[in-house]
Amino acid sequence: MRPLRTVLIANRGEIALRVIRACRELGLRSIAVYSDADADAPHARAADVAVRIGPAPASESYLRGDHLIEVAVAHGADAIHPGYGFLSEREWFARAVREAGLIWVGPPAEAIAAMGSKTAARTLAIQAGTPVVPGTTTPLRDAAEAEALAAEFGYPVLLKAAAGGGGKGMRVVRGPAEVAGALESARREAQNAFGDDAVYLEKFIEGPRHVEIQVLADAHGTCLALGERECSIQRRHQKMIEEAPSVAVTPELRARMGAAAVAAAQAAGYVNAGTCEFLLDRHGAFYFLEMNTRIQVEHPVTELVTGLDLVQWQLRIAAGERLPFTEAPAPRGWAIECRITSEDPASGFLPSTGRVTRLELPTGPGVRWDGGIDVGSTVGLHYDPMLAKLIVHAPTRDAAIARMRRALDDLVIEGVATSADFHRRLMDDAAYQSGDVDIQWLEARLPTFLAAVPDEATTRVLAVAAALLAERSRSGGAPRRAAGVAGPTATIGAPTVDAADAVADSAWWHAARRDALGGA
């Protein structure tokens, strides 16, 4: 087998940087690629070599698989790491990389294909003994067949695109009268999104959690489940917060879900890092949904609770190494990830653009920033709005929430609107803190969260207060407290004020002081 010395990273942003760091720690050379929009991007500067691959649109740069392989060969790469998104789950690309004599840092093209069709994945899972949602494994012929099957499984049912994933081409059907219309619109959406109008049917599971299992398999037959991630907090199929472990998973359930994930992965001939997605219902029953045949955005929470570097293991497995362990470590402590996106919660999460004019990053114990931006970075509309991930690790879930809250307070991003403040509100939410959430929870709560955005007048008052506070702090050391103005007031041991008020006051004090001093 060809030795692995140089890796071309066919991606951008935070995941490209993440792979470059893993390469450097393993002593590998890294080759970044960049579009015209990314000529000054951090990932292009961080790699050993950076190669321009085309204009800003992804279809003319990061999605040009043929060209990327040429660049890899021309610059002496031995391997291509696709990151997530872009070409990471394109069977043809994995195959073309292999046929060009390069190492593909990902699963075999055949495993990508097997899991790419949701009906084929269901068939594999069933054969492996992995529980799936009751439903069909072949596409529906027509509305009459759909109606007969829906009657058999019982309403509500869910129509899903066979080529799908990510919620496209999905329709909930609550009674026979809705079947024909839902089938037609699901078909149309599937055709538009995937060029394939095949649709199948499942029993609709109401109010489940989305829990996924990280799998890591080497090319020598060792396949391990590395525990779960709780991904229920999502909006329009975009995850906003992920955690490891999940409050809903006991060691016993973890072992059963892990075994089910490993069985499905092995049935597909899986090698490298992958993730099996499950729905977990209120009664603790779990159902395989699909397998993601790539490294995922939220992999860091698993890294923090297992102590394993998943991206390094992707590279080592691709180079032919064996996994040196046969059992997954039990999760240690609690990890939480917030996806910081350039979306403005106040405007219904519209993508926001601009130039990053100020960036202050949280640090300290148990804080990790996987980012793809710098001061001066331009945030446009060509690519995914995720700017960075803020990830924390602490001994307990409560401590992790407090740490995330602190880290979000310390984070300053100016020049582009972000989701960071929304994440702060989530950390303060009692239902979030209790862990009692499901996949519908965030969308149902959005109006309440968004209503809490301070109005213009309040913002002005706060700005004036911040300026006064800063002036006082600059001129006389410790600020004196005016009557009725609360600074940090929580005490350890015997709280003297309501704990929630203390946190809010403390955050206010901290943010106001920092904001006003920052411009000085």
Name the segment binding ligand MV4 (CB under 6 A); options: 98-106, 162-170, 321-329, 507-515: 162-170
- CA pair distance 143, 481, nearest whole angstrom: 70
With H, G, I as helix, E, B as strand and everything else as coil, classify residue 324: coil
- Nearer Cβ to ligand MV4 (206/501): 206
Closer residue to ligand MV4, CB minimum distance, 30 or 296 = 296
Q: Minimum Å distance from CB 166 to ligand MV4?
A: 6
Q: Answer yes or no: are the C-beta atoms of 118 and 165 closer than 8 Å.
A: yes
Least Cβ distance, residue 422 to ligand MV4 (angstroms): 18
Q: How many CB atoms are located within 10 Å of the residue 386 CB?
A: 21
- Of 301, 275, 303, which Cα lies nearest the Cα of 217? 275
Residue closer to ligand MV4 by CB (options 234, 377) is 234
The least distance separating ligand MV4 from the CB of residue 67, rounded to whole angstroms, comes to 31
What single-letter DSSP state applies at residue 455? Answer: P
What is the bridge-based pairing of β-strands 29-35 and 6-9? parallel
Residue that is written with structure tokens 């939220």 in the block: 298
Q: Kindly tell me which of 200 and 270 has the beta carbon lying closer to ligand MV4.
A: 200
294 is catalytic: yes
| CA 487 from centre of chain | 35
Write out the two tokens for 21: 């760091």
| Count of residues in the chain | 520
Q: Which of 12, 18, 64, 294 is catalytic?
A: 294
Which tokens in the block code for residue 499? Answer: 């704990």
How many residues make contact with ligand MV4 (CB under 6 A)? Answer: 17
Nearer to ligand MV4, 76 or 166 (CB): 166
Compute the CA torsion angle 333, 339, 340, 344 (nearest 10 deg): -130
Interface region with ligand MV4, contact rule CB under 6 A, candidates 80-88, 158-166, 363-371, 384-392:
158-166
Q: How far is the CB of 161 from ligand MV4 (least distance, A)?
A: 10
CB of 178 to ligand MV4, least distance (A): 16
Nearer to ligand MV4, 431 or 464 (CB): 431
- Establish if 234 lies at the interface with ligand MV4 (CB under 6 A): yes
Q: How far is the CB of 234 from ligand MV4 (least distance, A)?
A: 5
Query: Which of the ranges 3-11, 87-95, 159-167, 316-324 carries the binding residues for ligand MV4, by CB under 6 A?
Result: 159-167
CB of 406 to ligand MV4, least distance (A): 28
Tokens at residue 321, please?
Answer: 């190494």
Interface characters, 194-223, with ligand MV4 (x: CB under 6 A): --------xxxx----x-------------
What is the full DSSP assignment across 269-283? Answer: T--EEEEEEEEE-TT
Coil vs helix vs strand at 425: helix
Radius of gyration of the chain (CA): 24
- Cα(257)–Cα(227) distance, integer angstroms: 8
Q: Which of 3, 154, 167, 175 binds ligand MV4 (CB under 6 A)?
A: 167
Alpha-helical segments (H) within 411-498: 420-428, 430-434, 441-451, 456-476
Residues pairing with 171 in the sheet: 159
State which of positions 258-287 bind ligand MV4 (CB under 6 A).
277, 279
Q: Which is nearer to ligand MV4, 157 or 469 (CB)?
A: 157
The least distance separating ligand MV4 from the CB of residue 150, rounded to whole angstroms, comes to 12
- What tokens appear for 201 in the block? 């049917």
Select the span of 43-51, 161-169, 185-193, 245-253 touching ligand MV4 (CB under 6 A).
161-169
Cβ neighbours of 102 (radius 10 Å): 19
Whether residue 251 contacts residue 330, with contact meaning beta carbons closer than 8 Å, is answered with: yes
Query: Taking CB under 6 A as the criterion, which residues in 115-144 touch ligand MV4?
Result: 133
Give the nearer residue to ligand MV4 in terms of CB position, either 277 or 344: 277
Q: Which of 158, 249, 336, 407 binds ligand MV4 (CB under 6 A)?
A: 158
- Fill in the per-residue mask, 288 to 327: x = in contact with ligand MV4 (CB under 6 A), - = not in contact: -xx-------------------------------------
SS3 of 175-220:
CHHHHHHHHHHHHHHHHHHHCCCCEEEEECCCCCEEEEEEEEECCC
How far is CA 372 from its chain centroid? 14
Are the C-beta atoms of residues 416 and 353 closer than 8 Å to each other? yes
If the CB atoms of residues 210 and 405 are measured against ligand MV4, the closer one turns out to be 210
Nearest distance from C-beta of residue 318 to ligand MV4, angstroms: 27
Which residues sit at the interface with ligand MV4, rule CB under 6 A? 133, 158, 165-167, 202-205, 210, 234, 237, 277, 279, 289-290, 439
Active site residues: 294
